[in-house]
Amino acid sequence: MCGRYTLKSKGIDVQRELRLDHEPVLEARYNIAPTQAAPVVLDSAPRQLVTARWGFTPRWARDVNEGAKHINARAESLADRRLFQDALLHTRCLVPCDGFYEWRHHGKQSTPLFVHAPSHPIQTMAGLWTTWRSPEGLEVVTFSIVTTAADAFMSRLHTRMPLFVAPGDRDAWLAPGLKPRELETLLHRANVAPLNAYEVSAHVNHVAVDDARCLEPAAAVQLDLL
């Protein structure tokens, strides 16, 4: 799954990597958590980052907080779930990141790790988005991150991982009118960037903490105990 991630890269680097029309103004984020606002790319043209709320809230939901139940969407069942069927066909998005967190569990304790691709500092996770309207008429763009079965590396930490969209597939993922067979191919594309991970400070466990402390390597004495 994907429950926390980072986007600390500079705006100019994100613009170049995602081929955005304009350089975005970005604040470094070290601990993006569900229900928080985060930048996503909704459409292929004009290609720009917009702010959306993490947690897919269906149009029929009474409360935007319903989205907290849908921060992830399983690639294998998207076409069969009423919640995501329309978004899969018409409103796909890219969720830029430069890494995500996963927790390794041992007994009653868990250790946070930062997972990233050293060869591709900025990656894009596959996402689905929709617009929820409040009873007062306020419109909120919300999104979910698509997950897939863990690869050989991630399977040591978790059974699931984000579905990364390779640079050469980004245009296709955002393009309208994709046929089911084309979508199926993209949803089962293997991760092409080798992943790495290291243990980080327990600061990341607290959603209120969103600074560089989250990425500090765990102390050597902690590593010796694991």
Known catalytic residues?
Answer: 2, 102
What's the rounded Cα separation, in Å, for the pair 101 and 115?
A: 6
Q: Which residues contact 19 (CB under 8 A, 6 or more apart)?
A: 47
Q: Each residue of 191-221: b (16+ CB within 10 Å) or e?
A: beeebebebbbbbbeeeeebeeebbeebeee
> Between the CA atoms of 157, 161, 165 and 167, what dihedral angle is there, to the nearest 10 degrees?
-10
What's the rounded Cα separation, in Å, for the pair 158 and 160?
A: 5
Provide the token pair at 14. Answer: 């994100």
Strand pairing of 92-97 and 123-133? antiparallel
Q: Where does the chain show beta strands of DSSP type E? A: 5-7, 29-32, 37-41, 49-54, 72-74, 92-97, 99-106, 109-116, 123-133, 139-149, 160-162, 196-199
